[in-house]
């Protein structure tokens, strides 16, 4: 396992030790997004109860995004993705179940017909041992005879053995005699009457619970102007908009603990997330980060309602109501710092080969910010200005994988990463709030007579160039201003007019028989330049296109995330039983 993957292994250890007891650990599973999702306090202002009315509506988009993400039903191994399909949204599936439930008729419950069924046994176990001691003795013998008779009947059918038929008749007589003794000495009628009353009372409580749930669904329904309806979902602590005030746990993984985690961690699948980056084998001395688990709250959802046997549903495709897992906790981390091992040849070689920015699993590493053998792992979407929606709704990984799959195909995972980047918004709008735009002096223009013939000749020799500035990795079109490029000819800067178009491209007119150098000089973008020499086709058509590639440039100060920036690194999900609905045998449902 990659040493970097011990981040996830250590988070799981913390969950086992502090969030859930070992006896219930098997009921939970971790899922990880393709890219760590970056958030700030502003993304959770919808939780602030002091904001109401029009001010609160400003954050309705964030409320919808959170509800969609937190109610995703994971159907793939390890990877956390959202499809947007109704069958993959918890509240859509739950709503379908509630609206189509057939409820039990409590009066149709018959203890005589239920003898030997799991629900009958559960009811019997809930009664005191003192009042059921004699009953249990006969009950055990009666069930044993039933089992033996069934085995003999099966044997007789398969082999045609006449002896089996005689033995069946003998045991049937023993069963009849035992039943008479049971009625006389085993409190049969008395105990089964109590069991019947108990089951009917439970059925009535279920109906009451069902009605309460329908009421909560109605009051939790929300409508979004640009989307279908959704159900209100929040979290605890409810002040993520003040994340720097929360009780974050400082986690430090030493070199020795890293080695132990690498050796002891079972095949979990999350190490596959780090493969194919070229940096999965970095040797690490220490990993540190702040950690917090946030509980997902859904007033409208009651998992116990689905587990109870007092309902049924008339559906041809029961797969449409399956909920294999649902999210219970969101795992956030911040200030993720990696201290590399000193004098490691493997580290030096890996870093020398990497691009300026490189994905390490779900995180992003900026090579230029590697100082003194340490670097911070940042979220991809915040650093590269990608949309969280596009990352969460990435194409499905390993679609044909069965439930027993324990690893994710790293090749398929790599393809999905590329698709995530390509599916993002076409234009990357940069944040220029930190810039001060100085007013430019306006020069008075006077009407001057110019030689018309010279101008006409000059225009004939021009080629109209459309310049596209694209992100080096995502190929998104960068939102570039006209004054952020400089044009040179013969190593001399030219005063050539540049126009910004509505589609975020730039236009300029250049002489067709000259060679130019176009340089990118934006403060927050990496420097880049291209040479422009026109071919014969471009000269003939008098138009050309050129592309220049760059990416957002980070300073060391930008890399040191403030306390209100954090990343979603995992989602903890609870497992649901596969056998629902499991209605009471022989009972009526309406």
Give the model's confidence band at 236: pLDDT under 50 very low, under 70 low, under 90 confident, else very high.
Answer: very high
- State the pLDDT at residue 519: 95
pLDDT digits (tens, 9 = 90+) for 138-167: 999 998 998 888 888 887 776 767 667 888
Tokens of 530: 């291209």
Q: Where are the domains of the chain?
A: 6-101+233-427+561-575, 107-209, 452-550
Question: What secondary structure does DSSP assign to 531-566, as a single string?
Answer: EE---HHHHHHTEEEEEEEE-B---HHHHS--TTEE
Which range of 155-164, 291-300, 378-387 scores highest in mean pLDDT? It is: 291-300
Please say whether the beta carbons of 571 and 331 come within 8 A. Answer: yes
- State the pLDDT at residue 561: 54
**CA nearest neighbour of 298 among 330, 260, 275, 331:** 330
Instruction: List all residues 6 or more positions away from 116 whose beta carbon is below 8 Å from its beta carbon.
Output: 143, 146
**CA nearest neighbour of 527 among 465, 469, 477:** 469
pTM exceeding the 0.95 threshold for the entire prediction: no
Q: Is residue 355 predicted with pLDDT exceeding 80? A: no
- State the pLDDT at residue 246: 93
Give the model's confidence band at 392: pLDDT under 50 very low, under 70 low, under 90 confident, else very high.
Answer: confident
Angle, CA of 587, 589 and 590, to the nearest 5°: 155
Instruction: List all residues 6 or more positions away from 453 whose beta carbon is below 8 Å from its beta carbon.
Output: none
Rounded to whole angstroms, the Cα distance separating 291 from 190 reads 56
Tokens of 4: 């970097």
- Reported as half-sphere exposure (CB side, CA atoms, 13 A), residue 569 has a value of 29
Q: Is residue 443 predicted with pLDDT exceeding 70? A: no
* Residue 487 bridge partners (DSSP): 494, 518
Query: Higher model confidence: residue 456 or residue 137?
Result: 137
**Cis before 416? omega within 30:** no
- State the pLDDT at residue 409: 65
Q: Is residue 450 predicted with pLDDT exceeding 70? A: no
Rounded to whole angstroms, the Cα distance separating 7 from 335 reads 13
Q: Is residue 372 predicted with pLDDT exceeding 80? A: no
DSSP code of 444?
Answer: P
Q: Is residue 353 predicted with pLDDT exceeding 60? A: yes
- State the pLDDT at residue 364: 82
Q: Is residue 10 predicted with pLDDT exceeding 70? A: yes
- Reported as half-sphere exposure (CB side, CA atoms, 13 A), residue 563 has a value of 9
Q: Is residue 508 predicted with pLDDT exceeding 90? A: yes
Q: Is residue 172 predicted with pLDDT exceeding 70? A: yes
Please say whether the beta carbons of 196 and 109 come within 8 A. Answer: yes
- Torsions phi, psi for 587 (to 5 deg): -85, 160
Instruction: List all residues 6 or more positions away from 461 whose beta carbon is below 8 Å from its beta carbon.
Output: 511, 512, 513
Sign of the alpha-carbon dihedral angle for 530, 531, 532, 534: negative
Rounded to whole angstroms, the Cα distance separating 39 from 35 reads 13
- State the pLDDT at residue 421: 63
Q: Which long-range contacts (CB under 8 A, 24 or more apart) does 223-231 make?
A: 224/60, 224/61, 224/64, 227/64, 230/64, 230/67, 230/68, 230/71, 230/91, 231/67, 231/71, 231/91, 231/95, 231/298, 231/300
Give the model's confidence band at 177: pLDDT under 50 very low, under 70 low, under 90 confident, else very high.
Answer: very high
- State the pLDDT at residue 417: 66
Please say whether the beta carbons of 273 and 5 come within 8 A. Answer: yes
* Residue 331 bridge partners (DSSP): 293, 570
DSSP code of 434?
Answer: T
**CA nearest neighbour of 232 among 90, 392, 74, 413:** 90
Sign of the alpha-carbon dihedral angle for 342, 347, 349, 353: negative
**CA nearest neighbour of 465 among 511, 514, 503:** 511
pLDDT digits (tens, 9 = 90+) for 335-348: 999 999 888 888 88
**Cis before 581? omega within 30:** yes
Angle, CA of 584, 589 and 590, to the nearest 5°: 160
Torsion of CA 62, 63, 69, 72, to 10 degrees: -160
SS3 210: helix
Going through 61-132 in order, the beta strands assigned E by DSSP cover 79-80, 101-103
CB atoms within 10 A of CB 299: 14
Beta strand 378-379 with 374-376 is unpaired
**CA nearest neighbour of 334 among 37, 9, 2, 67:** 37
Give the model's confidence band at 256: pLDDT under 50 very low, under 70 low, under 90 confident, else very high.
Answer: very high
Rounded to whole angstroms, the Cα distance separating 340 from 334 reads 19
Please say whether the beta carbons of 532 and 515 come within 8 A. Answer: yes
Q: Is residue 448 predicted with pLDDT exceeding 50? A: no
Q: What is the CATH number of domain 452-550?
A: 2.60.40.10
Q: Is residue 228 predicted with pLDDT exceeding 50? A: yes
CB atoms within 10 A of CB 97: 18
Helices and strands per DSSP (H, E), number in the chain: 18, 26
- State the pLDDT at residue 442: 40
- Torsions phi, psi for 329 (to 5 deg): -140, 145
Give the model's confidence band at 401: pLDDT under 50 very low, under 70 low, under 90 confident, else very high.
Answer: very low
């Amino acid at each position: 396992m990659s040493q970097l993957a011990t981040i996830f292994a250590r988070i799981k250890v913390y969950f086992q030790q502090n969030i859930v007891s070992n006896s219930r650990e098997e009921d939970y599973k971790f899922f990880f997004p393709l890219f760590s999702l970056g958030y700030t306090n502003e993304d959770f202002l919808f939780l602030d109860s002091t904001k109401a009315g029009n001010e609160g509506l400003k954050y309705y988009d964030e409320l919808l995004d959170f509800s969609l993400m937190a109610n995703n039903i994971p159907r793939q191994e390890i990877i956390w993705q959202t499809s947007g399909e109704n069958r993959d949204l918890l509240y859509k599936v739950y709503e379908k179940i509630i609206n189509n439930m057939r409820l039990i008729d409590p009066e149709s419950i018959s203890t005589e017909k239920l003898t030997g069924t799991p629900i009958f046994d559960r009811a019997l176990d809930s009664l005191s041992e003192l009042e059921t001691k004699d009953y249990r003795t006969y009950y055990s013998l009666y069930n044993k005879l039933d089992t033996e008779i069934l085995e003999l009947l099966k044997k007789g059918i398969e082999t045609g053995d006449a002896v089996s038929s005689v033995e069946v008749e003998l045991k049937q007589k023993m069963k009849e005699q035992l039943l008479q003794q049971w009625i006389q000495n085993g409190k049969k009628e008395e105990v089964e009457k109590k069991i019947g009353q108990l089951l009917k009372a439970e059925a009535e409580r279920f109906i009451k619970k069902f009605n309460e749930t329908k009421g909560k669904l109605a009051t939790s329904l929300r409508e979004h102007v640009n989307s279908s309806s959704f159900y209100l979902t929040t979290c605890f602590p409810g002040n993520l908009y003040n994340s720097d005030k929360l009780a974050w746990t400082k986690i430090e993984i030493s070199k020795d603990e890293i080695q132990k985690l690498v050796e002891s961690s079972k095949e979990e699948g999350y190490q596959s997330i780090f493969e194919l980056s070229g940096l999965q084998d970095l040797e690490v001395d220490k990993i540190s980060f702040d950690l917090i688990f946030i509980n997902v709250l859904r007033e409208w959802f009651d998992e116990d309602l689905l587990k109870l046997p007092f309902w049924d549903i008339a559906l041809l495709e029961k797969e449409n109501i399956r909920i294999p897992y649902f999210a219970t906790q969101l795992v956030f981390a911040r200030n993720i710092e990696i201290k590399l091992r000193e004098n490691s040849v493997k580290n030096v070689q890996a870093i020398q080969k990497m691009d300026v920015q490189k994905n390490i699993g779900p995180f992003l590493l900026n090579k230029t910010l590697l100082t003194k053998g340490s670097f911070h792992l940042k979220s991809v979407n915040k650093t590269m200005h990608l949309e969280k929606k596009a990352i969460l709704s990435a194409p499905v990984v390993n679609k044909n994988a069965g439930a027993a799959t324990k690893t994710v195909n790293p090749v398929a995972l790599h393809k999905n990463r590329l698709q995530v980047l390509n599916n993002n918004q076409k234009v990357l709008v940069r944040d220029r709030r930190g810039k001060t735009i100085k007013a430019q002096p306006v020069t008075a223009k006077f009407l001057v007579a110019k030689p018309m013939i010279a101008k006409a000749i000059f225009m004939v020799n021009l080629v109209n160039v459309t310049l596209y500035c694209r992100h080096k990795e995502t190929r998104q079109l960068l939102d570039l201003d006209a004054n952020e490029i400089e044009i040179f000819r013969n190593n001399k800067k030219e005063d050539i007019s540049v126009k910004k178009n509505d589609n975020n491209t730039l236009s300029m007119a250049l002489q067709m028989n000259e060679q130019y150098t176009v340089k990118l000089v934006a403060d927050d973008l990496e420097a880049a330049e291209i040479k422009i020499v026109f071919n014969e086709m471009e000269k003939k058509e008098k138009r050309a296109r050129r592309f220049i590639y760059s990416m957002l440039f980070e300073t060391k100060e930008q890399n040191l995330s403030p306390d209100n920036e954090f990343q979603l690194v995992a989602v903890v999900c609870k497992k649901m039983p596969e056998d629902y609905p499991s209605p009471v045998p022989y009972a009526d449902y309406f």
